[in-house]
């Protein structure tokens, strides 16, 4: 039988009654935009992250834009991030008129390398954006120490429930942004996102910006955006949030099974001793990546590359003037990485089948 990269149907079937009831409630209450369902989810997710505020957004991408806009990032500024991430991270920096500045990543975790951060800071640096890649939080203590007074915005699109020294994203930086794209470990049934923060003034500003700069029904302080979280997605996310920790534990167990079976054949993910990796993606590294992916595809097993071309080598960022060799770790890993199927409903027999194909291929 084919093995999908993620099985959202299996997840839905397990909680179908709860999901269907939540959807009916939204329709019956007609609270489609904002309203009590969005407010309830924002409060619940803030508690889950251990922060005081959560501001809903229409996607993880617009959540990033909200954070940057509220911090006053704009033309002439620079924002530091990493090149081995989805384009949304750098894209929202560009949308503000600021310039993305890339720093390379650590070889073990593929997260921002604090040792390379200081050299990238200039008087124009307005914010620093570590990306918690694949479900593991970046090494935040040295990043925050180097940042000093520069705001740190954590891109936690892949880090729902991940921890670093007992803290979750949003407890460390000035703010953290999450995506609830359907394939995430906490996914909506469409686009949705949120910004979490302990900064009340920043939260109020983001709420205003997300809703047309509105301070009253027809009073607007500034031209802004329509980035509101809709009630349907919020209600669905409220149901799923109750199950998240259980799903994460099952994901971690399946990731550990992969590691036991594969660690002598390929490079398996490295979990920092101070971290709780939630394995949004289980990413192996091998010099035989293309052969392994082709063998898996032949058996009907879906494996994906996150992400095959670093941002500094994308046509969209050609104007920054980077060339091959500028960020060697990010470039090297782009040719080695492969994300394997991983979800709470993945069965032991399926993992063994996937491993057998990989071992044969390498």
Alpha helices in 211-243 (DSSP H): 231-241
Please give the distance of CA 267 from its chain centroid, rounded to a whole number.
Answer: 22
Burial of 5 (0-12, 13-18, 19+ CB in 10 A): middle
User: Which of these, 101, 106, 104, 103, lies nearest to 127 by C-alpha position?
Assistant: 101
> Which whole number is the average pLDDT over 6-23?
98
| SS3 category, 101 | strand
Model confidence pLDDT, tens digit, residues 325-343: 999 999 999 999 999 999 9
According to the model, what pLDDT value does residue 56 have? 98
Band of residue 70 on the pLDDT scale cut at 50, 70, 90:
very high
Residues 197, 34: Cα–Cα separation, whole Å: 19
Tell me what percent of the residues of the chain surpass a pLDDT of 70: 100
| pTM greater than the 0.75 cutoff | yes
> Which whole number is the average pLDDT over 10-32?
97
pLDDT over threshold 90, residue 356 = yes
According to the model, what pLDDT value does residue 349 have? 98
Residue-range domains of the chain with CATH = 8-103+111-241 (3.40.640.10), 244-361 (3.90.1150.10)
> Which whole number is the average pLDDT over 187-210?
98
According to the model, what pLDDT value does residue 1 have? 85
pLDDT over threshold 90, residue 34 = no
Average pLDDT of the chain, as a whole number: 98
Tokens representing 255? 């990731």
For the chain, the distance separating the N- and C-terminal CA atoms, rounded to the nearest angstrom, is 22
According to the model, what pLDDT value does residue 57 have? 98
According to the model, what pLDDT value does residue 5 have? 98
- Name 211's bridge partners: 226
According to the model, what pLDDT value does residue 68 have? 98
The single residue listed with the structure tokens 């992916």 is 293
Consecutive H or E run containing 250? helix 244-262
């Amino acid at each position: 039988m084919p093995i999908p990269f993620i099985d959202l149907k299996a997840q839905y079937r397990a909680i179908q009654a709860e999901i269907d009831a939540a959807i009916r409630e939204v329709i019956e209450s007609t609270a489609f935009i904002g309203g009590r369902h969005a407010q309830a989810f924002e409060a619940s997710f803030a508690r889950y992250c251990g922060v005081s505020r959560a501001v809903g957004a229409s996607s993880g991408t617009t959540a990033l834009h909200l954070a940057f806009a509220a911090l006053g990032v704009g033309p002439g500024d620079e924002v530091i991030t990493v090149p081995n991430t989805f384009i949304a991270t750098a894209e929202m920096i560009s949308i503000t008129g600021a310039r993305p500045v890339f720093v390379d990543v650590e070889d073990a975790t593929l997260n921002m390398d604090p040792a390379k951060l200081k050299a990238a800071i200039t008087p124009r640096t307005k914010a620093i954006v570590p990306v918690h890649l694949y479900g593991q939080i970046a090494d935040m203590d040295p990043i925050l120490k180097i940042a000093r007074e520069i705001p740190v915005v954590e891109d936690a699109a892949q880090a729902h429930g991940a921890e670093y020294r007992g803290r979750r994203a949003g407890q460390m930086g000035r703010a953290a942004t999450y995506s609830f794209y359907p394939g995430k470990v906490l996914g909506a049934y469409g686009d949705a996102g949120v910004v979490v923060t302990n900064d009340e003034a920043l939260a109020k500003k983001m709420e205003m910006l997300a809703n047309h700069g509105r301070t009253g029904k027809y009073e607007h302080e500034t031209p802004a955006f329509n980035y509101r979280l809709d009630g349907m997605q919020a209600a669905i996310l409220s149901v799923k949030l109750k199950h998240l920790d259980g799903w994460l534990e099952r994901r971690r167990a399946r990731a550990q099974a992969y590691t036991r079976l594969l660690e002598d054949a390929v490079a398996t993910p490295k979990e920092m001793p101070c971290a709780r990796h939630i394995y949004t993606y289980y990413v192996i590294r091998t010099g035989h990546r293309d052969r392994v992916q082709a063998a898996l595809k032949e058996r009907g097993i879906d494996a994906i590359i996150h992400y095959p071309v670093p941002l500094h080598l994308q046509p969209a960022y050609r104007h920054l003037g980077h060339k091959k060799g500028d960020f060697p770790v990010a470039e090297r890993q782009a040719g080695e990485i492969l994300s394997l199927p991983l979800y709470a409903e993945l069965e032991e027999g399926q993992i063994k089948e996937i491993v057998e194909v990989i071992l044969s291929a390498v």
